Amino acid sequence: MKQDGSIVYNPGPDYILEQDDILLAIESPEQLRLLARTLNRPRRRKKL
């Protein structure tokens, strides 16, 4: 959910979470662990 209250359903892999966005994930415990690891990784920049 965005700060303005809008909701983005099933964002794609290129979607960028912004500060104060709310993320709701309904997954198995293993998938939630994987998501947590992914979200805690340092951001990688794409080389041009």
pLDDT tens column, 2-48? 989 999 998 888 888 888 999 888 899 999 999 888 888 776 666 66
Q: Does any domain span residue 9?
A: yes
Q: Does any domain span residue 47?
A: no
Q: Does any domain span residue 3?
A: yes
Q: Does any domain span residue 48?
A: no
**Residue 28 main-chain phi, psi, to 5 deg:** -70, 160
What is the reported pLDDT for 41? Answer: 74
What is the reported pLDDT for 6? Answer: 94
CA 23, CA 9: separation in Å to the nearest integer? 10
What is the reported pLDDT for 31? Answer: 93
The pTM of this model reads 0.53
Containing structural domain, residue 4: 1-42
The structural domain count of the chain equals 1
What is the reported pLDDT for 46? Answer: 62
